[in-house]
Amino acid sequence: MPGTGGRGIRGVVPVLAFAGITVAVMQTLLVPVIKDLPVLLSTSPANATWVMTATLLAGAVSTPIMGRLGDLYGKRRMLLASLAVMVVGSLICGFTDDLVTMIVGRALQGFAMGAIPLGIGIMRDELPRERLGSAMALMSSSIGVGGGLALPAAALVAEHTDWHTLFFASAGLGLLSMLLTVLVVPESSLRAKGGFDLVGALGLSAGLVSLLLPITKGGDWGWGSPTTLGLFGVAVAVLLTWGVWELRSSAPLVDLRTTARREVLLTNLASIMVGVAFYAVSLVLPQLLQLPDSTGYGLGRSMVVAGLCVAPLGLTMMFVAPLYARISARRGPKATLLLGMLIIAIGYGAGLGLMSAAWQTVVISVVLGAGIGLAYSSLPALIIGAVDPSETGAANGLNTLMRSIGTSVSSAVIGMVLAHTAVPMGDVLVPSMNGFRISFLIATGAVLAGLVLAAFLPSQKTSGRLTLRARSDEPGAVPALDGEAAAFDAGAADVRGSQTATRGAAGG
């Protein structure tokens, strides 16, 4: 049974959530000083953006790979490895002002994003059924929680100390997270069969870099430039070749047949839309808050105050995790996902008319945080309900990747909108209110598209009946929750076993 390991489960949820928040901090760690990076690193603005892009690319590549490694060799072991890489990257950044060295360190920091799906996998393996729903919700929301809380904290540090302190603080968080993981988190005995698909990992990495690089840098290079179009062409060719390889592999990095299932495919597509919606508010509100009053619409707040106004986004995401568990237990994760997306759409719609005071941005942050928290919390339950228990890490890694693709697209599209709608103020161009509103409309459109996709997910009925079904081909494997019982306990529907396991009679 889950949760009966030698060291028990006390403290597992907060420790894993802390690990998730720690690695998520890396995504927004430098946002408060991003405008100063060219001066700090003695480089051009275009080159300075690589400091942010490297973290994004490394995080996208690491999530499915670390998830698969965790399934094969132990999720706790790979979680510790992810955190260790992050600590090394933080220390490298803390001791350098060189651009290339900084990019290397930031890539290592981004590599730790694989900790999110690993943490969800550990929870699936170890926790008792009554705690699984809210625990996975908290872990899934840690991306937003860490990103939201990092903004005011990083701004405070950047204003009053040397900016390298940000990296030393992140290294300290990583070491503390590693220590707590060693002391509290047990290693799961559940393992996937087969070996690690190195060719598949290299192919996926090359394809993702070729895809995400022009998305994030297309605005600088030009969307019609040979470099941008060439990389998109390379991405298509590499990912198609990679797909053929994965379908023929006996132990693929990503089981594309499982990924093509209706519930998995639609959940991943909806995740992209939620990622677009999540990042839009992070791009718009801090800029609106910090623009000077002389623009006529800027709110003239300091970096720290702007961070504090946006921080409720992450805090609300954390607080809705228990609410998600109750709603999902009664209505299933599909209903929670639909509700979350509806709240996001309402938040962005209201935001179109609530941009004239700092308190209004707090209201927007709270509403959007509640919606994004519910939506993010639903995603791991939907994925876990559709894949074999031994594939939990890889499947959630792929889902986390879909969110990263969404944030990348959001960053590129909204960045382009704000640049093309900018207005002159003195000798510089600043984002316009029209650009902010168009950005909110784009986010609203994305989440409405996600609502349509989620509406076609299979419906689940809840039931108090519990059926445990162990895998017949792996002695000592953790039993899976079958059918309606899974919808009741973890918000997951139609849990599938291995090829040799039998389907239960309960219908979802």
CATH number of the domain at 314, please: 1.20.1250.20
Are 131 and 224 contained in the same domain? no
Q: What is the pLDDT of residue 501?
A: 36
Let me know if residue 495 belongs to a domain.
no
Let me know if residue 496 belongs to a domain.
no
Angle at the Cα of 17 from the Cα atoms of 16 and 23, rounded to 5 degrees:
90
Let me know if residue 368 belongs to a domain.
yes
Instruction: Give the model confidence (pLDDT) of 198-237 as tens digits.
Output: 898 899 889 988 988 888 788 778 888 999 999 999 999 9
Q: What is the pLDDT of residue 5?
A: 42
Is the pLDDT assigned to residue 289 strictly greater than 70?
yes
- Taken in order 24, 333, 394, 78, the sign of the CA dihedral is positive
For residues 4-14, average pLDDT = 63
Is the pLDDT assigned to residue 46 strictly greater than 80?
no
457, two tokens: 């997910």
User: pTM here?
Assistant: 0.76
Are 182 and 233 contained in the same domain? no
Are 186 and 203 contained in the same domain? no
Instruction: Give the model confidence (pLDDT) of 303-329 as tens digits.
Output: 778 878 888 887 888 788 777 777 877
**Residue 507, number of CB atoms within 10 A of its CB:** 11
Q: What is the pLDDT of residue 488?
A: 33
Q: What is the pLDDT of residue 432?
A: 85
Is the pLDDT assigned to residue 89 strictly greater than 90?
yes
Let me know if residue 139 belongs to a domain.
yes
Instruction: Give the model confidence (pLDDT) of 178-195 as tens digits.
Output: 999 999 988 877 777 778
For residues 45-73, average pLDDT = 84
Question: How far, in Å, CA of 284 to CA of 289, rounded?
Answer: 9
Let me know if residue 107 belongs to a domain.
yes
Instruction: Give the model confidence (pLDDT) of 449-492 as tens digits.
Output: 999 999 998 875 443 333 333 333 333 333 333 333 333 343 33
Let me know if residue 180 belongs to a domain.
yes
Q: What is the pLDDT of residue 460?
A: 56
Q: What is the pLDDT of residue 471?
A: 37
Q: Would you place residue 497 in the very low, low, confident or very high pLDDT band (cuts 50, 70, 90)?
A: very low
What does each C-alpha distance from 284 to 30, 355, 375, 417 come to in angstroms? 16, 10, 21, 11
Are 279 and 267 contained in the same domain? yes
Among candidate residues 397, 398, 403, 401, the one with its CA nearest the CA of residue 372: 403
Are 214 and 330 contained in the same domain? no
Are 185 and 206 contained in the same domain? no
Let me know if residue 255 belongs to a domain.
yes
What does each C-alpha distance from 429 to 290, 418, 419, 432 come to in angstroms? 14, 10, 8, 9
Residue numbers of the domain that contains 128: 12-196+251-489
Let me know if residue 62 belongs to a domain.
yes
Percentage of the chain modeled with pLDDT above 70: 88
Are 376 and 405 contained in the same domain? yes
The number of folded domains in the chain is: 2
Is the pLDDT assigned to residue 402 strictly greater than 70?
yes
Are 120 and 222 contained in the same domain? no
**Residue 477, number of CB atoms within 10 A of its CB:** 20
Instruction: Give the model confidence (pLDDT) of 23-35 as tens digits.
Output: 888 877 887 777 7
Helical segments of 74-164, H only: 75-94, 99-111, 115-126, 129-160
Are 351 and 202 contained in the same domain? no
Of the residues 250, 275, 294, which one is the last residue of a structural domain? 250
Which of 83-92, 323-332, 347-356, 364-373 is the most confident on average?
A: 83-92
Burial of 428 per CB tally in 10 Å (0-12, 13-18, 19+): exposed
Are 347 and 409 contained in the same domain? yes
Are 309 and 242 contained in the same domain? no
Among candidate residues 178, 171, 230, 212, the one with its CA nearest the CA of residue 61: 212
Q: What is the pLDDT of residue 483?
A: 33
207-239 burial, b if ≥16 CB within 10 A, otherwise e? bbbbbbbbbbbbbebeeeeeebeebbebbeebb
Q: Would you place residue 50 in the very low, low, confident or very high pLDDT band (cuts 50, 70, 90)?
A: confident
For residues 269-278, average pLDDT = 89
Are 190 and 206 contained in the same domain? no
Question: How far, in Å, CA of 348 to CA of 112, rounded?
Answer: 31
State the average pLDDT for the chain: 80
